[in-house]
A and B are shown apart, each in its own frame.
Chain A
């Protein structure tokens, strides 16, 4: 299915990626080509085949529910573009 200009704008918004208007048409063309190419999977008969999410033939390991890490707020904040008093700072979200 071809990916049109409004679709690109919609998925870009979902992905939170700013895309300039003048780029939408080019991206629609590129994505249409790639999506068109992956659509060859339609010809494969997958009836009764369970989807494979991981090759690891195991159940997810569980561990005791206890704190194994922490107490390092300075390290956690060390790479933040902006932080104050042990908090990450973001633009105001509550009026």
Chain B
């Protein structure tokens, strides 16, 4: 590892500001590291020339005294974000060759803040997956290995490429997106920090849509502070997203390091699920003790509809996906399979362009929305979703934040769960409820499993209270003293 890839975003920022480091050197070190780590398959496209040009422009800006919050910091961009002129596939064959003629708001904001793009990171196809194995570009390897076992394990998903890149120090931070856990679960599996903001905090404009009422962009980084810095650069009101929240962007970084004395931390009893490994339970208890030791007050709470969150999600998300993905028709962009008749052209294109998991979800979505089933499935799920959100509303009358595990296990081996969709879906049991309620959540690396793989703890906050989530997350980080990969 080069000395420069050992740096975090905050440290690098300070060195850049003091003139002791150039973005050119920092970026070049990351490009070298990125090229040496290709076996991970974390990037689907590397953009080294663009990165160096970005870096030089940053160094120039800095000399003129106009540096932004992320100026000169090399990052990976999940291939879900449209990047003008740079192929954007969302991990799907059907978008092969698509070069967006516009820039997503989140990446535009990041670049305006000075961030340097190293490349586009691998992901589950259309963000549908929890292991990065559904990508048309092949699976990503988690840079972590089980102790005494060299078989690759998954990085989690869907933001698996971003998580692996940040953990392997081939990006200082990366953009990610979360629909049911796609930021937090891979962050936990790769031993990094992942923050899903409140729905509406980051614009969805230019983000390839999966389930529009759930999709939310957020940062991945190796520390809570770095995630806070990056979120500040990504977030903000945007007229081009009708659900973008018109709220000010606070100084997220200022929340990191604030004490938590007197904060009430909810411990939801329903998250003690059957068959939860004892090591996850133990880590959760440890987290509670850490927070208590710093003056927070643990409060037992109940979120009674928790067990219905996953089945609710697996109606709502596929329904929205089946509608969103109707746009891939072989006419306006992406792949086309030629046929003599228009209908056949649609069917052939979509049959060949979508992978098995995406196809499965479109079919489920089409089924639950079809005549005769709409009320029984889709409306029912929307009603249960309201109850899940209400559970959180009631809980937050009593507590300031909620502590839970991020995932029910450590990372599993590539291929282990790919034959059983429901077993795969269960990975998101602790992340989906907050997604359905639109609440912010962070995953902070908090320890290792018996096998030597990272485990994360999750802090869920009130809507638009990312600052509390960051504040509590930073305490967990300080207490856990988790050792990132060097």
Q: Which residues of A are at the interface with B, using a C-beta cutoff of 8 A?
A: 3, 7-8, 11-19, 27, 30-31, 33-35, 37-42, 44, 46, 49-58, 60-61, 63, 72, 75-76, 78-82, 88, 90-93
Provide the bound-state CA to CA distance between A31 and B245, in Å: 36
With a cutoff of 8 Å between Cβ atoms, the chain A residues found around residue B422 in the complex are 33-34, 37
Knowing A3-B367, A11-B367, A11-B370 touch, does A41 contact B347 (C-beta < 8 A)? Answer: no
Q: Closest A residue to B336 by CB, please name it.
A: A81
Residues of chain B with a CB closer than 8 A to A56's CB:
199-200, 243, 245, 438
Which chain A positions have C-beta within 8 A of B377?
35, 38
A82 to chain B, nearest CB (A): 7
Q: List 19 A-B contacts (CB under 8 A).
A: A15-B363, A16-B326, A17-B363, A18-B344, A30-B360, A34-B314, A37-B311, A37-B314, A41-B312, A41-B315, A42-B380, A46-B380, A55-B438, A55-B463, A81-B334, A81-B336, A82-B336, A88-B331, A91-B341
How far, in whole Å, are A11 and B377 apart by their CA atoms in the complex? Answer: 15
Q: Are A31 and B360 in contact (CB under 8 A)?
A: yes
Main secondary structure of the interface of B (DSSP, over half): helix
Contacts of A35 in B (CB 8 A): 364, 367, 377
A80 engages B367 (CB within 8 Å): no
Contact A8 B363 (CB under 8 A): yes
Residues of A within 8 A of B93 (CB): none
Which B-chain residue is minimally distant from A56 (CB atoms)? B243
Name the B residues within 8 Å of A37 (CB-CB). 311, 314, 422
Does B446 make an interface contact (CB < 8 A)?
no
Q: Is the CB of B380 within 8 A of A80?
A: no
Which B residues between 329 and 349 are near A, CB-CB below 8 angstroms? 329-336, 338-348
Tell me which residues across on chain A come within 8 A of B329, comparing CB atoms.
16
Q: Report whether over half of chain A's contact residues are helix, strand or loop; otherwise say mixed.
A: loop
B241 to chain A, nearest CB (A): 10
Question: Is B386 on the interface with A (CB-CB < 8 A)?
Answer: yes
Give chain B nearest CB distance to A46 CB in angstroms.
4
A40 and B308: CB pair below 8 A?
Answer: yes
Q: How far is the CB of A88 from chain B (nearest CB, A)?
A: 5
Chain B residues within 8 Å of chain A by Cβ, number: 69
Stretch binding the partner chain, chosen from B28-36, B42-50, B97-105: B97-105
Please name the residue on chain B nearest to A81 by beta carbon: B336
Contacts of B332 in A (CB 8 A): 76, 79-80, 88
CB distance B245 to A76 under 8 Å?
no
Q: Which of A31, A60, A72, A82 contacts B242 (CB 8 A)?
A: A60
**Set of chain A residues within 8 Å of B223, measured between Cβ atoms:** none
Give complex CA distance A42, B373 in Å.
13
- Collect the chain B residues with CB atoms within 8 Å of residue A76's CB: 101, 332
Question: Measured between C-beta atoms, what is the minimum distance from B235 to chain A in Å?
Answer: 15
| Bound: A58/B99 CA distance, A | 34
Contact present for B97 and A79 (CB under 8 Å): yes
**Chain B hits for A11, CB < 8 A:** 363, 366-367, 370
Please indicate the chain B residues that have their CB under 8 angstroms from the CB of A34 in the complex. Answer: 314, 360, 364, 421-422
Asked if B233 is at the interface of the complex by the 8 Å CB criterion, the answer is: no
- Taking the closest CB of chain A, its distance from the CB of B277, in whole angstroms, is 22
CB-CB under 8 A from A19, the residues of chain B are: 351, 359
Which B residues lie within 8 Å of A93 (CB)?
342
12 further contact pairs, Cβ within 8 A, besides A78-B101, A82-B336, A91-B344: A16-B343, A37-B311, A37-B314, A42-B380, A44-B383, A49-B384, A52-B382, A53-B382, A56-B199, A58-B245, A79-B100, A92-B342
